[in-house]
Amino acid sequence: MMQNERSTLQMQHILCVKNAPPEIVTMLSEWHTGQSDIEDFVKQAIEGAKRDNFMLNSPTGGYSGPVTALMWMLQARSVANEDRIRQVESGFYDDMAAMNLRSWDGICLSLVFACDDLLDRLIAQIPDFYLPEIIGQFDADQQPRIRSFFLN
């Protein structure tokens, strides 16, 4: 097996690895290998979302980073890999690479690059009784698609 093939196989947890900023590759790889605990990350997101009453618009002002991260997990998983790949390759997310990729916004961006298996592992850490709260924060036109994907 050639070196390129080997590195591609090792990065199957990341979509469009060639387009992903290095910080995102590192973050997703750490989640994939267990160097960084997925359960702890989701627990932090849920605790932050609880403080914000699971409302996208945080009571303290602005958007709730934790709620947004939970929403992006569900959004990314409910969109086919091919569609996410097309978005990434089109340059849709290029401007976002300049943000702090270890912030909640950066984590949200990283979820676009996560493969379905990694997203499934993240989403499996969300207690089912929180899913309706999270889905309720999506625009009304997106809720039926996401609800049918996760609550049936």
Q: List, for residues 43-93, the tens digit of each pLDDT value.
A: 999 999 999 999 988 777 788 889 999 999 999 999 988 898 898 888 887
Give a yes or no: residue 80 inside a domain: yes
Give a yes or no: residue 3 inside a domain: no
Q: What would you report as the CA-atom Rg of the chain, rounded to the nearest whole angstrom?
A: 15
Residue 4's Cβ-side half-sphere holds a number of Cα atoms within 13 Å equal to 1
Give a yes or no: residue 13 inside a domain: no
Band of pLDDT at residue 127, cut at 50, 70 and 90 = very high
- pTM for the whole structure: 0.84
Residue 16: helix, strand or coil by DSSP? Answer: coil
Q: Mention every residue, 6+ apart, whose C-beta is less than 8 A from residue 58.
A: 52, 64, 67
Residue 99's Cβ-side half-sphere holds a number of Cα atoms within 13 Å equal to 15
Give a yes or no: residue 65 inside a domain: yes
Q: Give 3-state DSSP helix, strand, coil % of the chain, rounded to 5.
A: 65, 5, 35
Give a yes or no: residue 133 inside a domain: yes
Q: What is the tally of structural domains in the chain?
A: 1
Structural domain that includes position 118: 33-150
pLDDT at 107: 86
Give a yes or no: residue 10 inside a domain: no
